[in-house]
Structure formats: C-alpha cells, structure tokens
Amino acid sequence: MSSVGIIANPASGTDIRRLVAYGSVFNNQEKVRIVRRILLGLEAAGVQQISYMPDYYGIVERALDALKTSMNILPLVFNAKADQRDSMRAAEILAQNGAGCIITLGGDGTNRVVAKGACNTPILPVSTGTNNVFPYMIEGTIAGLAAGLIAAGKVPQKEGTFTSTQLEVIVEQQLTDVAIVDAVVCDDIFIGSRAVWKMDKIKQVFLNRSSPASIGFSSIGGMLRSIAPHEPFSMVLELGQNGPTVTAPIAPGVVETVSVKNVRMMASGEEVALTHSPCVVALDGEREVEIKRGQQATIRLSTDGPLVVDVEQTMAYAMQKRIFASDVNIN
C-alpha cells in the first residue's frame, strides 16, 4: 500500500526576522489551503494512505474539512511537545512505518530536524518558512503529484530523487548536530533568540549549497560560486574587517555588504576548525550549538545527507513514460 507522511510546522514563517527584516508572515490558514491541494495531488497519483503529524492548529484536520477523498488519513500517535522535537519524532515514526515519501511544510529549520529523523525516506520540502534554500517554492498540487509518484513507485527513486550533502558539527571529536544548508559561527556566548540576523557577530560561514538567486547566508557564497546540493564539496567563508566585499540579500528585504577575509573550498569528508571559542553555531538560520571556551570544534562535509525528491525530474519522467497520458500520441 502506497503511503505518504505529512509534517506541517504551524510555527514556520513567524520568527523574529519579521521584526528585524521584511519577511512576510506565513499564516496557518494558507498552510491549510496548501495541504488541501497536496492531498488532492496525492490522491490523483494513486496514494492510498496518509499519516500526518498532529499540531496545535490542526492544519491537516482543517484541510480535510469538506474534502471528499478515498484515502485513509490518520494522525500519528506520540507524545507531542509542541516544538521542533515533534517534527523529528514524526519523521522517525514515518520512516519506521515504511512511508514512501514525507512532505514537509516549513523552512530550512523545519527540514533540518525532519532530515535527522527521516533516514533514507525521500523528503519533498514545500516552502513556508523564512530564508528558504532547501525547500521548494512549489504549488501544492504539483508537490502532491510528485510525492505520490515516488511513494507509489511509479517513478523509481533513482530517477526522481537525489542525495543532498550536509554539514556535520564535530565537538571534541563527537558528531553533535547537522545542517542541510549552512552552519554559521557567531561570537555570541548564549543561544538567546534562535534566529541570526546581526552580521557583525558572524565570523565563519560554512555552505554546502549556494546560488546567486538564493537568500540568506548561502547568497553570500552564491555571489562567488554556485554549489548544487548534491555536489561533494562546500565553501567556507571567513568574515572580518578590511577584506574584499560581497553584497548579498541575507534576509527578506535586507541586502548587506560584508567583508570576506578568506574563501576556501572544502571536500567531502574534510574538516575545518572553528576559529572562535567560545561561540554559538547557527544551523540553517537558528542558533543550536554552544561551543565552550577551550573546546575543539570542526565542521565536516558529508555526502550522506537527506534523500530529496527532485520535482522537475519526477514530473519529467512521468511525462516520458506517459503516466498521466497513456493513450495520447503526438503527430
């Protein structure tokens, strides 16, 4: 039986960057509408069962109001904490139960914790967060179709997915946490507000993907070189005064010029030391790891990141195989 999981984060799109930048608030009612379209796309692709993460707003439940569907749709049962632990636990359960794909609604931070729990289950990330580099800006119906094709086995994983790289935080030679887009070293000594927005506090930026068309810290590297998420190398930038400058959109509506003292590439499996201690390492835009004075810490690039649905490739394969147009010929 084809099965898909849905993890919709009710808190995504509402953090402090709405106050310090110009990001839009992505309200939960819009997430309800997206989920409704996702469900209709999943049904059209032949998915039979949906399991979803329960949340305090009831995103999926509201999406089901007045929606007629033959799919079996049930909430996951676990002890919810109403924080990011719920997303990771939901992903773990979905992976254990053999879900063919997990659809996420959230930003880079949401997808980071989902990726930690999903193991080798394909993720189709739909953007509803702040500085979104990992998830897609995609119409919900198409997201449902693509996820359904992967989950139902109509498009093989080797044709419609790719394995992303990730950045691993190593503290005292122990793997501590991971990032799926960027790891940023701040000279703060406390986590405080999780979101990072003050550039004068940032000393190093590690990127495993970058594009001149992206936003956030990855856009700084993107103005120098593009890195695709599956490519086995990353970029390390050391920021400071009196160096060459890069102008980039680091947040919605915020374009800043930063001084870059040094840039280097990092290969898969290579580790680069953090240059400041004590410090806080922000992972995918949120402060997560405190490095105490005297602790040895490095960032390592790994090619064993999350398995991600390539929507364009998936839909192109469906077109080539006439999955939705079996009896039509082009003259």
Q: Where are the domains of the chain?
A: 3-164+306-320, 166-302
Identical fold, 3-164+306-320 and 166-302:
no
Query: What CA–CA distances, in Å, run from 171 to 92, 109, 144, 266, 284?
Result: 24, 21, 39, 18, 18
Instruction: Assign domain 3-164+306-320 to its CATH architecture.
Output: 3-Layer(aba) Sandwich (3.40)
Looking at the chain, the number of H-run helices and the number of E-run strands are 9, 18
Pick from 105, 79, 82: nearest CA to 93: 79
Query: What CA–CA distances, in Å, run from 134 to 41, 45, 149, 216, 266?
Result: 22, 24, 21, 11, 20
Identify the CATH class of 166-302.
mainly beta
CA dihedral angle for residue 30, residue 211, residue 121, residue 168, rounded to 10 degrees? -120
Instruction: Tell if the pTM clears 0.75, that is, is over it.
Output: yes
Per-residue pLDDT of the chain (331 residues; tens, 9 = 90+): 899 999 999 988 665 554 455 666 778 999 999 999 999 999 999 999 999 999 999 999 999 998 999 999 999 999 999 899 999 999 999 999 999 999 999 999 999 999 999 999 999 999 997 668 999 999 999 999 999 999 999 999 999 999 999 999 999 999 999 999 999 999 877 655 556 657 888 999 999 999 999 989 999 999 999 999 999 999 999 998 888 999 999 988 899 999 999 999 999 999 999 998 899 999 998 889 999 999 999 999 999 999 999 999 999 999 999 999 987 788 8
Q: What distance lies between CA 237 and its chain's CA centroid? A: 21
